[in-house]
Structure 1
Amino acid sequence: MTTLNSISGRAGSLGQFDPQALPVSAAQAIVLQWVTPLAQSERVPLRDALARVLAKDVISPIDVPAHDNSAMDGYAFDGASLLAQAAPAGATLTLKVAGKAFAGHPYTGAIAPGACVRIMTGAPMPAGYDTVVPQERVEHGVGAEAAAGPVSSTVSEAVTFRADAVTPGANRRRKGEDLARGSAALRAGRVLRASDIGLMASLGIVDVAVKRRLRVAFFSTGDELRSPGEPLDAGCIYDSNRYTLGAMLQRLNAEPIDLGRVRDDPESLAATLKAAAESADVVLTSGGVSVGEADFTRTQLQTLGDVSFWGLAMRPGRPLAFGRIWSGGRPGAGRAALLFGLPGNPVATMVAFYQIVRPALIAMSGATPQPMPLIPARCDAPIKKRPGRTEFQRGVAERDAQGQWRVAPTGSQSSGALSTMSEANCFIVLAHESADLDAGDTVDIMLFDGLV
C-alpha cells in the first residue's frame, strides 16, 4: 500500500512534507490504491434499481426477439424462392394475400405457394417466410385499401410490386438478434441507467442484485458555524458545506449520514470520528485540516488511524487530509473507514470532492470510475497561473457560431465565493505544469453536466 513517506521519498515526519510535492494525479492514484470495493449486495425491485451498481451479470433468460418478426408494416412472403424466380430488372411480382399478422396475433393459417401475408411491425413472421416488402411499395387489387392509407378489415386479394423493390431477407428481425438466451445482457459493476431498467423489464426480470449503498458520514467543524434557520451571531457564518456534501452524495446514490457540526475541540472531534468509523464506510469532514491553532482534524487522523497525505498541489483545495481511521481509537482496533478531511472553504470543499473523493466513492461502490472528459476551448480572458499545481477555475462555457467551445472565468476565483460556483457551468482545468495564459489560448474544460 502506498503511504505518504513512500511517495515523498524520505522518512521524515509527516509534518515535514511539502504539500506541493504531491500532484493531483498522484493523489488520485493513491486514493484508488486504498479503496476496497463493497462485497455486500442485495436484491431490489426493478423500479428501485436506477443508479444502483449491478452486483452480478444479468443473463438473458430468453431470446430477444423471441421469434423472427417484421421490422415494418408490409407484406411477408418467401423472398428466397420467389425473388430468385423473378424475371430481369423491372419485372413485377403479384402475390395473393392469405391473411393478416399483428403483434401479439400471429398468422397461423395455411399458406399456398405464391402467397403473402399482410404483416404489421413486430408481428411474428409466418413459417416459411423470410422477407417483408414495405406497404408503400406495393399496389393493391381493385377495391382494396390504398397502399399508404389505413388498413381496412377486408384483405386485399392480391398485391403487386417490383421484384427489385426488396432483397431476400429484408425487413426481418431474427430471433435472438438483439440478445441470445444465456448471453450476458448487462455486466456486473455497471451503474444502472434508465435504458438498463427497460432492458431488464423486456427480459421479464422483476428484481436484480445490486451492491448495497455506500454509507458516507459527514460533518462540519468550527465553532463559528450555524445551521440555516438559526440566529447568526456576531462572527458566525451559516454552514453550507454539509448541504453541498449531502447533495453531492445523493447524486452518487450513496447513503448520507449527516453528523451535524462538531466544535473546535479535540475530544469532541475524536469522539465523532470514532462514532463515524463505526457506522460508515467513508467519513468526510470539512474544515480543520489547515495549520491554524484550532485545526485538529489531521492531528486526530494521525492518532486514530493511518495517514497517506494531507496536502495537494491543487487550487482550490490544497489542505486535504486522506487516510483511514478506526472506531477503536487506534490503528487496527474496531471498524475501519476511509477518511477525507476536506478544506473548509465552500468551493475548495466541492473541488476536492469532485476531483479526489468522487472517484473513490464510485470505486468503493463496486463500479469503475470513468474520468470526466476534458474538452478543448478557447479562453476569452487571460488567466494567471503558477506552475507546479493543478487549478480548477470556475468558468462559463458556450459554443460559438462555428460550433467551437469558448469559455470565460466567472469573476472571483476565491475559494469562499460559492456564488461563482453556482454561476459556472464548467471547471477550467489548468494543468500542473502550465503557466499564465493569454486571451485566445486553448484550455481544457470539464463540464458540470454529468458531474454536479
Structure 2
Amino acid sequence: MAVHILYPERGGGALNGARHAPLPLDEALAACASLAAALGDTEEIAAGSAVGRHLAAPVLSRANVPLLPCSAVDGYALRLRDLAGPGPWRLPVAGSVAAGSVPPPLRPGYAVGIASGAPVPQGATAILAGEEVTRLDALAHFSRCPMPSENIRQAGEDLAAGDPVLRAGRCLGRRDVALAAAAGADLVTVRRKVRAALLVTGDGLLDPGDPPGPAGVTDVNGPMLRALMDRPDTALAAAERTAGDPHGIRTALARLAGQADLLVTTGGLSVGAGAGLRAAVEALGGTLHFAGVAMAPGGAVSLGMIEGAIWLGLPGSPLAAFAGWHLFGRAIVAGLQGRTARMHKMVVSPVGEILREPGPAELRPARLVGYAPSGRALVSTDRATFPGRVRPLAESDGLLLIPAAARRLGPADLVEFLPFRDRGYA
C-alpha cells in the first residue's frame, strides 16, 4: 500500500528516495493536534493520587463552602446595635464557639469568643479580631466599632453548591487537589493513561554501563526518552532497541504498534535507499502525515499512523530527539488526554551577540542568567548548536527559538524562549 502524504512535498515527488520540503513548525504542531483525538476510556481515582492526570469530567462542589457563615479570625462575635453611643464599650462574654460546633443564638447585650472557622451564632453581625479586644475577667473591652459583617465569611463565599470548580480537560496540579478536597470530591474521573512504546534503532548501540568499544556508541536516547515519557498521564508499555535492518525494524514496529496509543522511535529517518523507518511505515500500510519539519536540530521529525497507533519518528542525535519530544511528543500526549497543548513561552533577550548562517528556525539550548533593568529575562547560549552534544542540554534552562529569518541577534532584540518546567522534567 502506498504511503499517503497529507502534507505533500511542494513540487511533488515520491516519498522514498526524494527530498521533501519540510513542513513549517506551526503546521507540524497543528498536524499533531488534529491527529491526537482524545482517548475515550476513563477511570475514577482518588483526587490525592491524580496529580498530573487529566479530568474527563468536571469536579462539582457538593455543598456551599463555607457551609454556614463562619469567622475569618480568632476573636469576639457581637451585635453592632449593642455598641451604642461613644466608645469604648464593654460587653459580658457568654462563653466561646469552637470550629465544628453548633452555637446557640447570641443573646442581646453579650459578646461571645469565637475561633477561626467556627460558625457565627445567630444574631451576631460582626467579629473583631482578638488582638483588638481587651479581656478583663468576664468582660470584653472594645475600643473600635467594626463594620457590618466584618470578619464574617458568608456561606458559599468560596465555593457555591453545584458549581464546576475544576473543568474537564484540566491537568490536575497539587493546588487542584486542595480545591477538589474543599469541594468534597474524594474521587475524580480522569482519562486513562496514554499507552506508549519506544523503539530505539541503530547498529552497535551500547548500554550506558557497557565498556566502551572502538566503534560502539552509547545509547543516550533510550534512557533520555524513557525518562521524558515517564509521566503521570503516560504508561510506557514497552521499550525496545533494534539494529537498522529493514526486517527487524518492520517486525518491531508491528509488534509495538499493537500495544500502544503512541509509538515513539528514534533514529532511522534517513531519506536514502530504503528510507529506514519511513519505508517500514509504508510496508506496514501506515499513513505518513509529514516527513520533516523546518527546524534545526530535528528537521527529520516525522509523524504518521501505524495500525491505529500514532507514530512519532525522532532523529538519532540526542538534542534533536529531545527537541522533537519537547515540541511534538508532549503535544500528542496532551491531545490524547483531551486538551490543547500550551507551549510555555517567555520573551527574552540574549546577553551577547548571536550570529548564524541562513537556515530553518533553530532551537538552541540556553541558560537564564539574569534580568535587564526593564525586568526582561536574559539568556546565554553557545555560539552554535551541536546536536550530538549532551552537556549543553543538561546545563540549559530551556530552548531559544531563533526564527529562520534571523541572522544576527543582540541584547536589544526580543526572542522567544521555551523554558523547561524544572531541571528534572521538561
Using the size of structure 1 for normalisation, the TM-score is 0.86
Q: How many residues align?
A: 419
CA shift digits 1:71-113 (9 cap, x unpaired): 011111223x446xx44xx6433322111012123433x5321
Secondary structure of the 2:354 match is coil
State the partner residue of 1:331. none
Shift in CA distance, 6/272, structure 1 to aligned 2, threshold 3 Å: closer
Deviation of 1:7 (Å): 5.4
State the partner residue of 1:329. none
State the partner residue of 1:137. 132
The correspondence for 1:182, drawn from 148, 162, 177, is 162
* Mapping 1:229-240, distance limit 5 Å: 229-240=209-220
**Aligned-residue identity in percent:** 29
Q: Distance between the aligned counterparts of 1:412 and 1:38, measured in 2?
A: 40
State the partner residue of 2:335. 363
State the partner residue of 2:397. 425
Deviation of 1:194 (Å): 1.0
Q: Distance between the aligned counterparts of 1:132 and 1:99, measured in 2?
A: 15
Deviation of 1:345 (Å): 0.3
State the partner residue of 1:332. none
Shift in CA distance, 137/427, structure 1 to aligned 2, threshold 3 Å: same
Q: Distance between the aligned counterparts of 1:408 and 1:246, measured in 2?
A: 28
The correspondence for 1:118, drawn from 113, 122, 125, is 113
State the partner residue of 2:63. 62
Q: Distance between the aligned counterparts of 2:367 and 2:246, measured in 1?
A: 41
State the partner residue of 1:24. 25
Secondary structure of the 1:434 match is coil
Using the size of structure 2 for normalisation, the TM-score is 0.91
Is 1:159 aligned with 2:176? no
State the partner residue of 1:148. none
Q: Distance between the aligned counterparts of 1:125 and 1:283, measured in 2?
A: 58
Is 1:33 aligned with 2:34? yes
Q: In structure 1, give the amino acid aligned to 2:415.
A: V
State the partner residue of 2:367. 396
Larger relative contact order (CA 8 Å, sep ≥ 6) = 2
Q: Distance between the aligned counterparts of 2:193 and 2:51, measured in 1?
A: 12
Secondary structure of the 2:28 match is helix
Q: In structure 2, give the amino acid aligned to 1:260.
A: E
The correspondence for 1:323, drawn from 283, 304, 314, is 304
Shift in CA distance, 139/48, structure 1 to aligned 2, threshold 3 Å: closer
Q: Distance between the aligned counterparts of 2:155 and 2:304, measured in 1?
A: 53
* Mapping 1:93-112, distance limit 5 Å: 93-108=89-104, 111-112=106-107
State the partner residue of 2:289. 308
State the partner residue of 1:282. 262
Shift in CA distance, 48/241, structure 1 to aligned 2, threshold 3 Å: same
Is 1:248 aligned with 2:228? yes
| RMSD of aligned Cα (Å) | 2.3
Shift in CA distance, 376/411, structure 1 to aligned 2, threshold 3 Å: closer
Is 1:413 aligned with 2:385? yes
Deviation of 1:370 (Å): 1.4
Is 1:265 aligned with 2:245? yes
Q: Distance between the aligned counterparts of 2:358 and 2:125, measured in 1?
A: 68
CA shift digits 1:256-291 (9 cap, x unpaired): 133321111111111111111110001000000023
Do the aligned residues in 1 keep the contact of 2:16 with 2:279 (CA within 8 Å)?
no
Gapped regions of structure 2 (runs ≥ 5)? none
The correspondence for 2:406, drawn from 434, 438, 446, is 434
Secondary structure of the 1:269 match is helix
State the partner residue of 1:77. 78
Gapped regions of structure 1 (runs ≥ 5)? 145-155, 327-335
Q: In structure 2, give the amino acid aligned to 1:183.
A: D
Deviation of 1:228 (Å): 2.1
Deviation of 1:130 (Å): 2.7
The correspondence for 2:325, drawn from 353, 364, 367, is 353
Secondary structure of the 1:268 match is helix
* Mapping 1:205-224, distance limit 5 Å: 205-224=185-204
Shift in CA distance, 19/437, structure 1 to aligned 2, threshold 3 Å: farther
Do the aligned residues in 2 keep the contact of 1:379 with 1:440 (CA within 8 Å)?
no
Secondary structure of the 2:90 match is strand
